[in-house]
Amino acid sequence: MLHFGDNLKPMTRRQRITVTNDAELANALERMRPFFPGKPAAALVHDLAIKGVVAIEEDEARDVRRSTQPGAASRSR
């Protein structure tokens, strides 16, 4: 039963986002289940998003370091 009105308080003050659970996301979540048994899907999505941006930033920093090393231009040809 759903109740609407002023008596309901939000579970969090933070803005929520909607994520479509398409085949790719469902697959990623299933692959993560063994590492985080019992963790709710929303928490997995949150943690994967945070870890994903950290991994991308680290990859970018590594690429910049590699491209600024002496001899980098001659190695890329």
Token pair for residue 71? 């001899």
pTM given for the model: 0.63
5 or 62, greater pLDDT = 62
Specify the residue for token string 């950290």: 54
pLDDT at 58 over 90: yes
> Which distant-in-sequence residues (6+ apart) come within 8 Å of 66 by Cβ?
72
